[in-house]
Structure formats: C-alpha cells, structure tokens
Amino acid sequence: MPLTYRIRRVAAALAAVALAASVAACANDPVSEQYLAGENTGYIAGQFQVQEIPADERGDSVEWAGVTEHGDELSSDDTAGHVTVVNFWYAECPPCIVEAPDLEQVWQTHKDDGVKFVGVNIYDQPESAISFAKDNGITYPSIMDVETGSVKLAFAAESPLQSTPITLVLDRDGRVAARIIGKLEGASILDTLVSDVLEESA
C-alpha cells in the first residue's frame, strides 16, 4: 500500500476521533478526570504523535523477554511471525487509564487475525497490574519491567521511549512498523495502523 495512502487513512482516523466523545468510559474515574482537566501531575507527558515507517526504512528486529503479571514467561519468540502491538504503561498514569478501553477494543477486533498484544508495565508490581486489568477490562498480558527495565531497553534503540504511554506496532519480523507517542486518541487510529501492517506480505 502506498505510503501517501496510508498517511491519509491515519489522518482520516484522527479526524474521526476528533469528532467523537471518546472519554465517556473514564468519566467516573478521578485520576482520569484530573488528566482530562489538564492536571498532568504524576506521569511523564508526551506530545501526541503518530508515525508509520515504510518497510524498507525499518530498523532491526527487536528481541525482548520478561515475566508477566501472572508469572508467565513471554518473549519475542512467542510473537514471532505475528503482527504485535506493544504498549508501555503503568497503573497510575492517567492517559494510560483513558486509553485502556481503546487498546482492548483493537485487541478484540484483531486477535482472530493472529495479532498479538503485549503490555509493558514500567513501574508497578504484579498486584497493581492485575488490579488494573480487572478494573479496565484488559485481557492481554503485561510484562512487569520495573525491576530490570530490560524490555524498555530492548526497544529504546528503535523508538524513543521518554514518555508514557507509548504504543508500538511490530511487523511479522518483529520490527517497529508504527509508533504512537502519547495517549491513543481513539481505537480507530490503532486499528488503521494494525490493519496496514496486516496487509503487508507475510
């Protein structure tokens, strides 16, 4: 698919989100309300950016490994050959709370397409991550990276990770094909990015 067409698709998704009231699910959450009111204390804010990377301009495959909130080992070997979404987050990050339903929505849309979703929790202990998943209806696993930072380090060479949240879409070779820096502004944006990478030849 031509890069200009893909950019138009992402731009259209952004425009659609701008017209939608996408924050209703978090209306009763005080931390989310503080974020939406502009009170950005307690997390590292990043300016919202979306970038798709053409296949011939992508970097190396990223190899990563860690242990999930439930004590299961998970690595790039487990997602090899699949389009994979990697989301960096933590429980007290207000925009992470706001975007959680959109991430889950895209996961439910594409999991039957073979797409994998992996959270990377950069600050919390497993109990907090499990509670977050329960409260926000998240069903995909998260690696607990607070002790070693190894997963964050593995991706740092291929994508800036100075802000939270960050969402990466990896192609079937494990290369970063798209990145969203800052809170996901609606499920349609990520859906478009994932769909674009799915359409590439296996």
Provide the residue ranges of all domains of the chain, joining segments of one domain with +. Answer: 3-198
Strands, DSSP E only, in the chain? 49-52, 65-67, 73-75, 84-89, 116-121, 142-144, 166-170, 176-181
To the question of domain 3-198 being in CATH 3.40.30.10, the answer is yes
Question: What are the pLDDT tens digits along the chain (202 aa)?
Answer: 554 445 445 444 444 443 333 333 333 444 334 334 444 333 344 567 899 999 999 999 999 999 999 999 999 999 999 999 999 999 999 999 999 999 999 999 999 999 999 999 999 999 999 999 999 999 999 999 999 999 999 999 887 777 889 999 999 999 999 999 999 989 999 999 999 999 996 5
Amino acid identity of 56? D
Prediction pTM value: 0.79
| Cis ω for the linkage preceding 2 (within 30 of 0) | no
What 3-state class would DSSP assign to 40? coil
Calpha distance 190→178 (Å, rounded): 9
